[in-house]
Amino acid sequence: MSRLEFKQKSQAQKEVEALYGDIQRRVIASPPSQCQVDMTCSFLKLCQAQSCGKCVPCRVGVYQMIQILENILDIDTDSSTDDLVLLQKTAETVRDSSDCAIGWETAEIVLKSLQSFSEDYMSHIERKRCSDSVTDLRNTVPCVSKCPAEVDIPGYISLIKAGRYDDAVKLIRKDNPFPTVCALICEHPCEGHCRRNILDASINIRGLKMFAVDNCSDVVPIPEIRENTGKKIAIIGGGPSGLTAAYYLSLMGHKTKIFERRAQLGGMLRYGIPSYRLPRHRLDWDIKSILSAGIDVELNADINTEEAVNKLMNEYDAVYVAIGAHNYKMIGIEGEESKGVISAVDMLRGIGDEKMPDFKGKRVVVVGGGNVAMDVARTAMRLGAAHVDIAYRRRKVDMTALPEEIDGAIAEGCRLLELRTPVRIEADEEGNVKALVVQPQKVGPYDSSGRPKSFPAQKDEQVLECDIVVGAIGQEIDSEVFEKAGVSVLWKKLNTDESMAVEGMEGVFAGGDSVTGPSTVINAIAQGRVAAANIDNYLGYNHEIKVELDIPEPDLKDYIQCGRSELTSRYPDERNRDFDGFENGLLLEEAIQEAGRCLRCDCNNLGAFRGGRHTSW
């Protein structure tokens, strides 16, 4: 017997670790129609298998919770609310008395489930079935259900595979009139629950959409416009949400007019996203197609008085307010009034109108950790800045920006300073910025956002010498005028129900960032679509939006593991000095292979069982 031995992984251990990976991928790909109570019970069984059995609360208590849950799920066993009381008490006991995280975190799963989906528990107890919120889901195809606009993703992927790029664009437009915009900048939540994750990795949905718009015709016709209804709708705001609502309402036969405050349409797509991410000619292609539906537009129309708002409400049959979130949120530190302190909103707005700030040779510090902060940092590099720092009060992993945006900024030469909170801005005798003073931070307990808070570390303040400070910590909504006009406002956001109708105001609807706060383009588009459908109903109609297309049938084949084709980018030292698009699309052979990886959940599994594709709305 050796004194010490170097232990290598046995074949059994390797298989178990591979099994952990399989479980992780299955959890990621959980379908939207999954019963939450059943999933909780399944998680508990996994937790029980991890228990060492040393402490009684974990060894016995977890088993008892599983038994209670199985009784609730069993259609042949009578259960009552007493079971829920017992389940909660058992979970609290396990949480408070277990020796380690295996026990107390298992109990937390149960307690959170009781709080979050009590309706599902009661449905199983009273009706012996899953709740309506599970069984009545409109879409059970994972990617479609996770897309806020419910775009027919398997459908257009199959059309791309067949080489029918114009038809793919038409199918996308059925639910989303911005195929090019979303091909370039969408955060692609659809990929998060792609069932292909179970096998290897999700489909590159955004990459395939980009391939379709890159290879379609110069003009892809829109659907036929319905007969004029004689109804007039005012759209306040020409951003993605307002344009979406105007497009679908126009297709339904209503006369729509957009009142846009700026000199050009696009909202934050034009005035908040740099052209290296969204080239202006690509944005204009989508907008031109939308306007071809016969939409009237009034630019430089500043609806900034109570009288102007009320006039629109009186002259039009319905009003849709989609004003976005264009106001700058102050950093809130000493010296913010110094010359050289600018907001990300003002900077990007000026660039949207081709007014480029002079950053050549200057030292720039960007404060913030979201996508906007990455945008202005990368833009500063392209404007010739000598040096760009990004100061963020939390860790890199806690930043709200997309990982690829963060990595892109670092690759292009920006320096990321994690755990640095701005304290004050120092200026010279003439009031010009000369430095940003930051306080190093340390991480602490988690907050309601699910991220650890930051607290001052016992370190000296650091001085970041700079000529420009750009604040990018968020945006606010300018809703004061609408509140004075009687529009319901809650915490500066326009207050609507799920149909996007403003609470307490007949004929007035709202959507986009003015309702949710700063969000994503696909969320704004989705709300414009919802508003269009419900405005149509409010006006007494039920027009359907549909596209007549023959969707290819899925191939009957065995699916084998296959790598995901990724988009590539231009080299950092090549792209960081111009505003040309930085991403390269898929090659033809890559696109065909990637489209062939789709499991066609619209035709197989639960998606087909519950009716398959939704061809209209």
Could you read off the pLDDT of 560-604 as tens digits, one per residue? 899 999 999 999 999 988 999 999 999 999 999 999 999 998 887
Residue 537 has pLDDT above 70, yes or no: yes
Query: What is the residue-averaged pLDDT of the chain?
Result: 92
The domains of the chain, with CATH numbers, are: 34-135 (1.20.1440.230), 142-221+553-609 (1.10.1060), 232-325+477-538 (3.50.50.60), 328-474 (3.50.50.60)
Query: Average pLDDT for residues 321-336, to the nearest whole number?
Result: 92
Query: Average pLDDT for residues 505-516, to the nearest whole number?
Result: 93
Residue with structure tokens 């074949």? 11
Beta-carbon contacts of 104 under 8 Å, excluding residues fewer than 6 positions away, are 94, 95, 96, 98
Q: Which helix (H) or strand (E) holds 172?
A: helix 165-173
Tens-place pLDDT, residues 172-181: 999 999 999 9
Tens-place pLDDT, residues 203-243: 999 999 999 999 999 999 999 999 999 999 999 999 999 99
Residue 140 has pLDDT above 90, yes or no: no
- Most distant pair of Cα atoms in the chain: their distance: 93
Per-residue model confidence (pLDDT) at position 51: 86
Q: Report which DSSP code applies to 262.
A: S
For the entire predicted model, the pTM comes to: 0.90
Q: Report which DSSP code applies to 189.
A: G
Per-residue model confidence (pLDDT) at position 556: 77
Query: Average pLDDT for residues 191-202, to the nearest whole number?
Result: 90
Cα(100)–Cα(51) distance, rounded to whole angstroms? 10
Per-residue model confidence (pLDDT) at position 609: 58
Query: Average pLDDT for residues 499-526, to the nearest whole number?
Result: 93
Beta-carbon contacts of 246 under 8 Å, excluding residues fewer than 6 positions away, are 233, 235, 256, 258, 290, 293, 295, 320
Per-residue model confidence (pLDDT) at position 136: 64
Per-residue model confidence (pLDDT) at position 302: 82
Alpha-carbon torsion, ordered 261, 264, 266, 270, to 10 deg: -110
Per-residue model confidence (pLDDT) at position 335: 95
Closest CA to 16 of 39, 45, 41, 46: 46
Report phi then psi at 13, rounded to 5. Answer: -65, -40
Per-residue model confidence (pLDDT) at position 329: 87
- Band (504; pLDDT cuts 50, 70, 90): confident
Query: Average pLDDT for residues 90-115, to the nearest whole number?
Result: 92
Tell me the sheet residues that pair with 334. Answer: 424
**What does the DSSP assignment read for 586-599?**
PPHHHHHHHHHT--
Alpha-carbon torsion, ordered 569, 575, 576, 578, to 10 deg: -140
The better pLDDT of the pair 613, 409 is held by: 409
Per-residue model confidence (pLDDT) at position 207: 97
Query: Average pLDDT for residues 112-132, to the nearest whole number?
Result: 89
Query: Average pLDDT for residues 118-133, to the nearest whole number?
Result: 87
Q: Long-range contacts of range 406-412, CB-CB < 8 Å, 24 or more positions apart?
A: 406/374, 408/374, 408/378, 408/569, 408/572, 408/582, 409/374, 409/377, 409/378, 411/572, 412/378, 412/381, 412/572, 412/575, 412/576
From residue 86, how far is each of 66, 101, 106, 136, 496 by CA, in Å? 12, 22, 16, 30, 39
Tens-place pLDDT, residues 33-76: 778 899 999 989 988 888 888 888 888 999 999 999 999 999 88
Residue 611 has pLDDT above 70, yes or no: no
Cα(592)–Cα(219) distance, rounded to whole angstroms? 23
- Band (607; pLDDT cuts 50, 70, 90): low
Q: Which stretch of 16-30, 253-267, 518-532 has the lowest confidence by average pLDDT?
A: 16-30
DSSP reduced 3-state for 472: coil
Q: Long-range contacts of range 87-93, CB-CB < 8 Å, 24 or more positions apart?
A: 87/114, 88/114, 90/61, 90/64, 90/65, 91/61, 91/65, 93/57, 93/61
How many C-beta atoms lie closer than 10 Å to residue 315's C-beta?
A: 11
Residue 605 has pLDDT above 70, yes or no: no
- Band (486; pLDDT cuts 50, 70, 90): confident
Beta-carbon contacts of 276 under 8 Å, excluding residues fewer than 6 positions away, are 378, 379, 382, 575, 578, 579, 580, 581, 582
Provide the token pair at 416: 């990321």
Cα(496)–Cα(534) distance, rounded to whole angstroms? 12
Q: Are 286 and 172 spatial neighbours (Cβ–Cβ below 8 Å)?
A: no
Query: Average pLDDT for residues 277-304, to the nearest whole number?
Result: 95
Tens-place pLDDT, residues 338-350: 999 999 999 999 9
Cα(562)–Cα(393) distance, rounded to whole angstroms? 40
